[in-house]
Amino acid sequence: MNRIRLILLPSLLLAGCTVRPDYVRPQVQAPASFKAEEGWAAAAPADHIDRGRWWQLFHDSDLDMLAERALAANQTIAQAEANYRAARYATREDRASLFPTVDLSGSAQRAATDLSSSGDGASSTYQVAIGASWEPDLFGRIRQTINNAQATAEARRADLASAQLSIVGELATNYFNLRAADAEIALVEKTIAGYERALEIATNRYNSGIVARTDVFQAQSQLASTRSELEGLRRSRRTYENAIAVLVGEPASSFSLPVSAQWAPTVPSVPAGVPSTIVQRRPDIASAERSVAAANATIGVEKSAFFPTISLSADAGTQASSVGKLFSSATSLWALGASLAETIFDAGARTARVKQARASYDAAVAGYKETVLEAFQDVEDQLTAAQILARQEQHLREASIAADKSETTTLNQYREGQITYTDVVTAQATALTARRSLLQASVDRQTAAVALIQALGGSWEGESYQLFETPAASGGE
């Protein structure tokens, strides 16, 4: 035991050494506020904050149902969840290295010195032993390995949240496009009915000898082209439906989403007082920051290779000539040991690994900073899109109303023989284009709202928002 103490003494004196650089979260020069929305300030990672059931902002029961199904059955989310569990168990495995390992062994042996004998001179030996081994973490190698694994697990947790946010966002976008296809199909079907009436008018006027047959040809061409567009819309609708099936974890062949007669596009408004600190919840930022922490811990792991490895072991057991005497035998075995290993020469391999770890850390820092900058850009883009699309929708609504009036007036003038049918075709085409553009603008506003929610990392309502709300913001808005 005195020898063991002498071996351990130098190592214990060095146990306070720190081989890992102190971790400091990389700093990013962030704007004081978003230029597209006054009063919004900069942010820092806080992915533990609940992102809220943000899809409920659109007040659509079908979307709520589909979102829940996607969270429960989507395979991309399931894969991310499994990766997170694997990372957690890897952390537990590394943490177990801090404790001794205990082994139990047993053996039985029968031997004889004369192979030609009948076996009367053979002897039996039975042995059972228990042993323990432990590697003291004197230089922090195991602790830094645990830190690396824990940061990696936290990054995988953020990846899971990112997958959930992405999948439900994709689901919402496909759902809104499907509902827009339903509305556009209904709009085109109504337009086709109007074109059929116009064709009937042109045919009657031709049969009466009032107009040339070209009016009938124009009406037929317009009707056939619009019917072709209708088939294209039905194809698009089926494509969106199939995409939704995959997102909710079902085969496309067995999934269907009926047309909703009650659907009306709802666009949630962004309150002016929402602080930009809710960007802290963005899981990609959290994942990038945890990757930096993991890379920092790796530097400590590689630097610990410059220090010796010390192992302690202890074994105890008994030996007897029969199983019955095994635990009553006076013959006992025991052993205590300590070992020290140190690499004397490796041609600079350890130094190269440390430098490699530092380079990986620098790359992780750059990746983190880039992620934060892109996050701010994303929010700026989506805030701008939300504002501009709202104005565009208003202009398109005015254009649609005017086009409808022009179509009605033009058709009446044609009945009275004041204009040619070409003018009717032009007015009808303009009205249909205006109606479809207005519908698309409404859907664009919804998808832009989804993109803004993803850029912010979740909902701006409920507890998740209140945790970030500052007294000035909550009282002044």
Residue 189 lies in a domain: yes
Residues with Cβ < 8 Å from 132, sequence gap 6 or more?
A: 100, 101, 102, 103, 313, 314, 315
- We report the CATH number of the domain holding residue 173 as 1.20.1600.10
Strand order in the sheet with 332-341: 101-111, 123-134, 309-320, 332-341
Measured CA to CA, the distance from residue 182 to residue 264 in angstroms comes to 11
Residue 54 lies in a domain: yes
Percent of the chain with pLDDT over 90: 42
Residue 135 lies in a domain: yes
At 269, give phi and psi (nearest 5°): -90, 145
Number of domains comprising the chain: 1
Over 60: is that where the pLDDT of 26 sits? yes
Per-residue pLDDT tens digits for 338-390: 888 888 888 999 899 999 999 999 999 999 889 888 888 888 888 889 889 99
Report in angstroms the alpha-carbon separations of 269 from 57, 319, 386, 396, 445.
9, 81, 9, 19, 10
Over 90: is that where the pLDDT of 252 sits? yes
The alpha helices in 97-140, defined as continuous H runs, are none
Q: Element (H or E) spanning 72, and its range?
A: helix 61-73
Is residue 294 within 8 Å of residue 158, measured between CB atoms? no
pTM across the whole model: 0.78
Domain, as residue range, for 227: 2-98+125-476
At 16, give phi and psi (nearest 5°): -80, -5
Residue 119 lies in a domain: no
Residue 117 lies in a domain: no
Q: The tokens 């998740």 sit on which residue?
A: 464
Measured CA to CA, the distance from residue 375 to residue 455 in angstroms comes to 7
Measured CA to CA, the distance from residue 192 to residue 186 in angstroms comes to 10
CA R_g for the chain:
37
Measured CA to CA, the distance from residue 58 to residue 56 in angstroms comes to 5
Per-residue pLDDT tens digits for 258-282: 998 777 888 887 766 555 566 667 8
Residue 45 lies in a domain: yes
Residue 451 lies in a domain: yes
Residue 110 lies in a domain: no
